[in-house]
Structure 1
Amino acid sequence: MFKDLSNSDEHSNKSQHEIITPYKVGVLLLIKEYCLNIPKAINERRDFCIVALKIIQAPDMDISSLLTMLNNPDYVLQRFSRNLEIECNHLLKTGIEGLLELFDALTRLIKPSQEHPLSSSHSLCRSSVLGLYVRRLIVFFEQLSFSEVAQLYDAFVKNYKKQTNNNDLNTTTTRLSKSLYNNNKFQQTNVWDARQAELLVAQQAHALQTDEHKAMPPGELQKLVRELLRSNPHYAEAHYLSYLNCLRVNEYCGAIDSLYHCFDRLAPLDNRTHIDDRTKTFRYAALNLASLHGQFNNNDVAKNALKEAIMMAQEAGDNICLQLANAWMYHLSDDNKGQLIERSVGKANSLGITHTTSLSLISSAHDYSMKGKNPVYIFQMLVKSDVLNCQHSMMDLMSMSYMEKSALWSYYGKFEMSILNSQLLLLHNCGDKKQYMFNGTSTCQAVVNLANAFVQLGEYKIVDVIFNHAKNRFPNEPSNKIWMLHKQLYEFTKMMRHDRLIDAEFIANQISSLDPLESKFCLAEVSLAKGDYPNGLNYIDDIELFKNLNPQNRVRAMILSSQMISSSVQPGDGTSGTKSIVLLNHALEICTKNYLSYYEAIVKMHLANIQLTIGMPNQALNVIDDAIINILSHGGWFDQARAFVLYAKCLIATAPKFGNKRKLVIQNSIKYLVKAQINYHKVEAFGRLKNTLYLLSMFYNEIDFKNERNQVAFEYRQLDQQYPTKTNAIMLY
């Protein structure tokens, strides 16, 4: 949330009074018994520390549940369970006097150490967790009247007698929250006081925003919210926790209702004296509402809410709210985005809003990359963001910066650097200090990047393992959309390489629900492979109608369009070749302008292929020599295999017609075709592999290598029987 809810007067002035319940009396009896029992084994001390932290953070239970926890076989606290029962029976016999003796004994335990010259080990440290807990309850107990003490004793007697009448303690065990225990279910009888609720809400909200798999499941967390609201009906933070929980499952109605309820309980009171206090809740409510609509892509509604927040922030002179609104404005807007980001960076830096400053620097780097700015300047901006992130330990933006670097390196065609940054991000989120992990969308994208790298290497079993890990680690919105999309793209790539075009088309249509643009690209590739060129060109036209198409996607569309134009006519047609070359030259210009080095090499390979088909092999070979190094340095096995095949074709096309020189060239070409064969086999590109085997058999036959020719022909036949395909694009790169 953009505003600390505790800043409101209702929350800052709320009563700190705590109700002493029979459960808390039972906990105090346990603490006293532990401190007075001097001989304790090391495993008893360890288990008691673990259990003590749980029971003081847990909701109020009955005494039977407390005894059941102590009798748990996972702990060696059965001795203290028996002593606790003895103390409870003693308290029942001594009455109110026994209750007073309990608090007197606790007071003696927490006296300063100078009053204990022997420094006995059973004394309770005043500044420890248990010491603070006991001192707090002593203070509130001393404020009780005699009648209230009598009521507390009667409640304890009733609670304990209920336990003694129950023969099976395990059936009454109350399940505690996942963040406190390893169980997930809650019973209707749990009672949460303000501090326990505040701690649990803070834990769950932090987990949802940084490391979701540590949070409770959505259904269990919603049950917890309802339970918290039964104990504290006016607890606004519980509604905000419900809002975050609804967002993770993409539930719009529940999210907006929870947000409304949250700010209803923060509504200003009529007796406030400061005008700013009256409007502060309203403007931050509008800002959070804009954030909600923005996350559900209701951009027009979100902008209206932002305008309302900006108007109220300007009236109150709240510069921080204005900068937060400005950050959302450039996120939602397409026009003048660069100016809005620059303004946000300067103003947020002057106001000391480091989170917004760093986020704006990352957004500015992304925006400049789409506009073709120099990569050196862009990475310098990301370094400035890294400095702020490290200085202020902003884990979410550290991860975002790593992921932005990875995306930029991939965009510029340096895939090894992209994978390196993804690995650095994952390394940053592992090690001994796992409590500081950030498992947001950037981490999910890093996991997916590794999967994509293994797809390029043909390691499909490893890819399946990685996607299963992503499915378990990121089950909810918005991260699950990332791995779901890339898993579908992986399946599509695999089907295309297997030449299973019907299955590939089915997957391409499914992708439309996750990414309509990528779905159009996939459908265009399927149409190209099927030879349905008019339909493929229609998909290309649809792609060009998309708003804010980035340079990389424009180049992809031009490459597909040139392939369809060159494939729709007979090889050697000069007119189609000229059209394709003009289109590819335009794509090459875009690549050069935007520093897209890998796509520049891919475009050159397509240019060389068209030059080869229209009878210009020497020019094609020169172009390949310029581009193939980039392909071999940064491309996957599939792209490298395509480059080897095209290079071998150009060598043969430029070789002499007869003589030993031609034989030497053919032998050299065979070496490249064998490398292509190995690479195609690794990625299971069976159609391309059969084309390569066909070329190999022709070359072996020409130089009279009959055994090798027969072996290759046999492999071709076996492959054709296992994977029958009808490849009609043998002339494509």
Structure 2
Amino acid sequence: MASVHESLYFNPMMTNGVVHANIFGIKDWVTPYKIAVLVLLHEMSTTKPMALLDRRRLNKLILPLQQGPDLTLEQFLKIVEECCLRMVNAVKLRLLLMADGELQDMEHFFTILPNAFSDSEAFKTSVVGLFMRQMLLAYNKLSFSQYLASLGIQSLVKQGAKQGMPANKLLDALRGTDIMHWKQSLSELIEISLAQTTSIWRMYGKSTMARQQAQLLLNMNSLEPVNFSVQQNNTEAFAVALCHLADLHAEQGLYAVVSDIMKHLKQQFPPHTQHAKLWMLCDLKIQFEKAMNDGKYHLAEPHVTAISALNSTEGLYRKAQLLKALNQTSEASKILQQLQQQCEKSKNIEMTIRVMLASAELHWDSSGFATALPLLLQALSLSRQHNLQRLTSETLLHLAFTQLMLGIPEQALVLVQDVLESVLAHGSLIDKGRALLLAARCQMALAGAAAQEHRLTALEQAVHTLDEAAVYFSQLDCKERMRDIHYLQARLHHTLGNIAQRNKCSMLFRLLDQELPSSGMTVVSHL
């Protein structure tokens, strides 16, 4: 699954850095957003003259910005722009200078910041003044040259991952800073690094390594204690790690474990808190995938609306999936075209590839298997270029299915066998079942053209492969796929003369066919 909501991988707070400091018994965070608010306050103090109406608007804006959750840079600038266009330009210029100059301009800004307010009573007595003094004390308390250098490396790792650098190079870049973090017990930066490493492994399709890193984070013993020796485990890094684990368990059909993880997330991050959006989106996507696997499209539909409210890109993709499953191909095609344009503009490579795969499936539905090939080859090139192993495997399976439908099962089976080991090692249950089902269909096609003395062995091998696929689909209770399995098993047992097995599989197929709604797709037309 798309796992793959981008915020679970690279949330702005994580990649750009968060530094904690305990001031006056309050947990204060020096974040990029808080620095941007300080820049706004500084510009308001030093910009003269300013229109009275603009100043009043900005004064009303400060307290909500200070007390509200962290915003992205785009959201922050938009809010300021609505109050005062002149001010947003000044703030943007200052932030750009700080970003270009890195440490020097950052330290210079915090050095000159108190000078703008030294003669102000507000600095000494107001809520805004308290906020500024806390940020200054937090900044000065830190060895900012160092877990800024660390945060800079983490930001570069993020960019490298988006550009498709190999995982080993990215992890080597993180290793040096990780050693420093552990030596100095910088627990917050350790958490961020582990969460980011988890995200990298998941993005590159290495689910076992992702699970290991997430569990390492959750079992850390070096967490900074807060009140009454309670460990700090409500940070964004923990939310990200737990969401990854929920996704990974859902992929293996362990929904009882997913329920426990979600229950814990809801306790640690109540709906009104800053990071609640992470688990909300994760939970909705899991429920959507489960409903789709069960063939219960009426249950999937409300999840699409809820997902769209949290993330429009993810919502559009799942709306297209649902429409395609309901055989509304024209509407699905329009949405996928719209989504393709959005993803190319935002350079969302993962979603771009997924849209290409979904579009290729629409070509299948109209029996345009040859017309799907250019899309699949483009998706394969992108996934390999960006080292996205899981998407590479998924694309190769799509290519194999297309080749099977075009009448070249030999090449199709070679492709399936090339990726089968990777899929069985790192794929979800649905991926494993689909790969084995496709392998069985290739074996059936080859058996039909085999010499008589080899045909029986080939058919028995296909039966065995279908039995393996059935194990994975049954663990997910994926009735649509089990219907396909029973249909093919009945055909094979009929050919082999296994009358009792044929009748049993035929009965199971008929029961599921009567229970499930018709989606317009058959085992012949989809992967």
Per the TM superposition, whether the score is higher than 0.5 is yes
Change (3 A) 1:552 1:292: closer
CA distance in 2, matches of 1:724, 1:313: 56
RMSD: 3.8
CA pair 361-650 structure 1, distance change in 2 beyond 3 A: same
Q: C-alpha distance in 1, partners of 2:97/2:249?
A: 51
**2:309 alignment partner in structure 1:** 513
Q: Is structure 2 residue 260 aligned with structure 1 residue 465?
A: yes
Pick one of 201, 206, 218 that aligns with 1:426: 218
Q: What is the TM-score normalised by the length of structure 2? A: 0.75
The residue that corresponds to 2:511 in the other structure is 718
Aligned counterpart in structure 2 of residue 651 of structure 1, from 440, 443, 456: 443
What secondary structure sits across from 1:396 in the alignment? helix
Residue by residue, what CA displacement relative to the aligned partner does 1:246-268 show, whole Å, maximum 9, x if unpaired? xxxxxxxxxx9xx99x979xx99
How many Å separate the matches in 1 of 2:95 and 2:173? 29
CA distance in 1, matches of 2:99, 2:175: 32
Q: How much has 1:320 moved relative to structure 2?
A: 3.2
The alpha carbon displacement at 1:391 in A equals 3.8
| Correspondent of 2:236 among 424, 432, 441 | 441
* C-alpha distance in structure 1 between counterparts of 2:311 and 2:437, whole Å: 33
Question: In 2, Cα distance between the equivalents of 1:324 and 1:720?
Answer: 69
Letter of the 2:350 counterpart: Q
2:66, 2:106 → 1: CA distance? 14
Deviation (angstroms), 1:699: 0.7
Matched, 1:666 2:454: no
SS at match of 2:169: helix
SS in 1 for 2:219: helix
Task: Return the alpha-carbon distance in structure 2 between the equivalents of residues 322 and 558 of structure 1.
Answer: 48
Aligned length: 441
Question: Are residue 401 (structure 1) and residue 193 (structure 2) matched?
Answer: yes
Q: Deviations over 1:105-149 (max 9, x none)?
A: xxxxxxxxxxxxxxxxxxxxxxxxxxxxxxxxxxxxxxxxxxxxx
Alignment of 1:202 onto 2:24: yes
Q: Give the 3 Å change call, closer, same or farther, for CA 697–324 of structure 1 in structure 2.
A: farther
How far apart are 1:376 and its partner, in Å? Answer: 2.5
Aligned to 2:521: 728
Segments of 5+ residues of structure 2 without an aligned counterpart are: 1-16, 47-61, 81-87, 112-142
TM-score, scaled to structure 1: 0.55
Residue of structure 2 equivalent to 1:550: 348
Change (3 A) 1:727 1:416: farther
Letter in 2 for 1:650: C
- 8 Å contact from structure 2 (residues 98, 105) kept in 1: no
Deviations 1:585-617 (A, max 9, x none): 111111111111121111111000000001111
Query: How far off is 1:431 after superposition?
Result: 8.8
Identify the match of residue 298 of structure 1 among 61, 65, 76: 76
Residue number in structure 1 paired with 2:274: 478
Matches within 5 A, 1:377-396: 377-396=169-188
Structure 1: gaps (5+ residues) = 7-198, 211-242, 245-255, 269-283, 326-350, 570-575
CA shift for structure 1 position 289: 11
Residue aligning to 1:179: none
Counterpart AA for 1:462: V
**Aligned: 1:530 with 2:318:** no
Deviation at 1:202, TM superposition (A): 2.9
Cα distance, 1:549 vs structure 2:
2.8
Query: Which of 475, 491, 494 is the aligned partner of 1:698?
Result: 491
User: Would you say the 8 A contact 2:167–2:201 is kept in 1?
Assistant: no
CA distance in 2, matches of 1:618, 1:448: 40
1:500-548 CA deviation, whole Å, 9 max, x = no partner? 2232122112201111111111111112211222211211112122232
**Displacement of 1:381:** 1.5
Counterpart residue identity of residue 644, structure 1: L
Of the structure 1 ranges 404-413 and 366-375, higher mean CA displacement relative to structure 2 is found in 366-375
Contact 1:310 1:322 survives alignment (8 Å)? no
- Aligned counterpart in structure 2 of residue 489 of structure 1, from 261, 285, 291: 285
**One-letter amino acid matched to 1:588:** L
Task: Give me the identity figure in percent.
Answer: 22
* Matching of residues 634-649 of structure 1 within 5 Å: 634-649=426-441
Relative distance call for 1:708 and 1:305 in structure 2 (3 A) is same
Return closer, same or farther for 1:289/1:303 CA change in 2, 3 Å cut-off. Answer: farther
In 2, Cα distance between equivalents of 1:437 and 1:477: 15
Q: Distance in 2 between matches of 1:562 and 1:479?
A: 36
Q: Residue 246 of structure 2 corresponds to which residue in structure 1?
A: 451
Distance, in Å, in 2 between the alignment partners of 1:304 and 1:685 is 56
Equivalent residue for 2:391?
599
Moved more, 395-404 or 659-668: 659-668
Q: Which whole-Å deviations, capped at 9, do the CAs of 1:179-204 have from their partners, x for residues lacking one?
A: xxxxxxxxxxxxxxxxxxxx9x733x
Which of 356, 359, 369 is matched with 2:148 structurally?
Answer: 356
Q: Which residue of 2 aligns with 1:688?
A: 481
Q: 2:252 & 2:68 partners in 1: Cα distance? A: 43
CA contact (8 A) 1:290 1:306 kept: no
Contact kept in structure 1, 2:300 and 2:322, CA below 8 Å? yes
- Please state how far the C-alpha of 1:306 moved relative to its aligned partner: 4.5
Gap change, CA 1:674 and 1:386, over 3 Å in 2: same
The offset of 1:313, in angstroms, is: 12
Residues 322, 501 of structure 1: CA spacing in aligned structure 2 closer, same or farther, 3 A cutoff? farther
The answer to whether the Cα contact below 8 Å between 2:437 and 2:469 also exists between their aligned partners in 1 is yes
Change in Cα spacing, 1:615 to 1:355, as seen in structure 2 (3 Å) is same
Equivalent position of 1:365 in the other structure:
157
Residue 372 of structure 1: SS of its match in structure 2?
coil
1:320 to 96, 101, 106: 106
Determine the C-alpha separation between the residues in 1 that align with 2:320 and 2:76.
30
1:618 is matched by which residue type in structure 2?
E
- Mean Cα displacement is larger for which, 684-693 or 288-297? 288-297
Q: Identify which range, 643-652 or 659-668, moves more after superposition.
A: 659-668
Give the Å deviation of 1:385.
2.6
CA distance in 1, matches of 2:409, 2:339: 33
Distance change >3 Å, CA 312–CA 683, structure 1 → 2: closer
In structure 2, what is the Cα distance between the partners aligned to 1:676 and 1:722? Answer: 21
608, 627, 630: which one aligns with 2:419: 627
Q: Could you tell me whether the CA contact under 8 Å between 1:533 and 1:568 is conserved in 2?
A: no
Shift of the 362–311 alpha-carbon distance from structure 1 to 2, 3 Å rule, reads: closer
Taking a change above 3 Å as real, the CA distance of residues 431 and 372 of structure 1, as seen in their structure-2 partners, is: closer
Matches within 5 A, 1:123-162: none
Seen in structure 2, the aligned counterparts of structure 1 residues 628 and 392 have a Cα distance that, compared at 3 Å, is: same
Contact in 2 for aligned 1:373/1:594 (Cα 8 Å) = yes
State which of 464, 471, 480 in structure 2 corresponds to 1:678.
471
Inter-partner Cα distance in structure 2 for 1:361 and 1:312 = 17
Counterpart position of 2:137:
none
Shift of 1:319: 3.5
- Note if contact 2:223-2:231 (Cα within 8 Å) is conserved in structure 1: no
User: Aligned in 2, Cα 1:318/1:633: closer, same or farther, shift over 3 Å?
Assistant: closer
Matches within 5 A, 1:158-177: none
Tell me how far apart the structure 2 counterparts of residues 352 and 466 of structure 1 sit (CA, whole Å).
35
Larger relative contact order (Cα-Cα within 8 Å, sequence gap ≥ 6): 2
Cα distance change of structure 1 residues 306 and 673 upon mapping to structure 2, 3 Å threshold: same
The 1:419/1:299 distance shift into structure 2, 3 A limit, reads farther
Aligned partner letter, 1:384: G
What SS does the corresponding residue of 1:458 show, helix, strand or coil? coil
Q: Are the counterparts in 1 of residues 97 and 105 from structure 2 also a CA contact under 8 Å?
A: no
Opposite residue 408 of structure 1, the aligned amino acid is I
2:520 & 2:108 partners in 1: Cα distance?
A: 59
- Give yes or no for contact 2:185–2:222 (8 Å, CA) kept in 1: no
